[in-house]
Chains A and B, each alone.
Chain A
Amino acid sequence: MENHPANPLPHYTEYHPRWYRQRVSTYWWLGRWPYLRFILRELSSLAVAYFVALTLAQIYALSQSPQMYAELQEWLRQPAAVALNVVVFLFAVFHTVTWFAAAPKAMAVRMRGKRVPEWAVAAPNYAAWLVASAAVTWFLLRG
């Protein structure tokens, strides 16, 4: 419905008042840290996908020939590839931590009529993460 700025006198609409509706900016997520953190959390899924793709590429190269695997490893040792992997790793850690923080919100576990505290729901996730990381570290360093 049109406004009439040239006419300063109040006049009345035919049906209902002229409500002002503000459009949501495309950059709504830049204004406040919780919104930016949410977008970063969503983007961090790409980091997880990247590591899955990289692992699949390594398995594929290994299945083809030792030379192909060595070439891939050589490519991964380049400074740019190392820098990329460091950034992606940080995003993957961020993804993991935020996921574990979200898990207790979605799972309202109740025992003996009372809700189990959030830390107790998150703790097994962190424990599993620790065990898996220790197993991988042992596998890599066992000589």
Chain B
Amino acid sequence: MAETIILEVTRYSPERDQKPALERFEVPLRPEWVILDALNYIKDKVDGSLTFRWSCRMGVCGSCGMMVNGEPKLTCATFLHKYEGSAVRVEPLRYFPVVRDLVTELSDFMRKLKRAKPWLIRRTEKPLAEGEYLQTPEQLDAYKQFSMCINCTLCYAACPVYGLDAEFIGPAALALAQRYNLDSRDQGAEERMLALAHPDGVWGCTFVGECTSVCPKHVDPAGAIQQYKLKAAMHWFKSLLKPGG
């Protein structure tokens, strides 16, 4: 194994630069290091001004998503030695505005996430004395996969529709909406339908499928969206057969 590896890292200072540029850093190539370790090495030893987000270092918080050689990756879960033999390019997540270096601006995602209403909606609440809302393992299994989303937004960086259509709600928000639609405790499917069965919602998706390929938690947003398309089409068809019903 070589002793060092070159990292080409996006640098962008909003106060000085017209546009981002790549800066090369030589870092130790250690078998146990992930890309995030290399970035922290640069920040600690080479250039303290390098700016990036990270927190848990264990693929749970979803903070450290970046483009690694053009692919959206969690940098805490991407080993450096995988790229041995060539330079590794580390860039901010595609399609999001860049605030500084590798830090993207996520308020667009947060706004869209809210539109999908990813929380339990109840028309009626039963009294506390009646206890919890129980679920069978089968009922849990119906939505569990979609509940694994950590909001890392890698799926947005993989989705050309999101890049080309600023109004598209996007994969993670749609998958999370479906997560609650499929929850036996939820009664908000009708409420969510306004945002979901919409040209900016599931009908905006052209099923490229890369959101599913890059998801580090195997959520399958593309599957969630296609399944919702079927549901929305059936709902529309039923409304034709039974207007007002």
Contact = CB atoms under 8 A, between A and B. Distances in A.
Given A11-B15, A102-B226, A20 B208 contact: no
Interface in A105-129: 105-108, 110, 113-115
Interface residue tally on A, bucketed by range: 20 to 34
Given A20-B98, A35-B208, A38-B209, A3 B18 contact: yes
A113 B137 contact: yes
Contact of B20 (A20, A35, A106): A20
A114 B99 contact: no
A17 B100 contact: yes
Interface in B75-131: 94-95, 97-100, 105
Interface of B: 12, 14-20, 70-71, 94-95, 97-100, 105, 136-138, 141-142, 160, 163-164, 206-210, 213, 220, 222-223, 226-227, 229-230
Interface of A: 3, 5, 8, 10-13, 17-22, 24, 28-29, 31-32, 34-35, 38, 42, 102, 105-108, 110, 113-115
A24 B141 contact: no
A28 B165 CA distance: 14
B160 A24 contact: yes
Contacts of A34: 208-210, 213
Contacts of A108: 223, 227
A121 to B, nearest CB: 12
A20 B227 CA distance: 35
A28 B163 CA distance: 10
A21 to B, nearest CB: 5
B14 A19 contact: yes
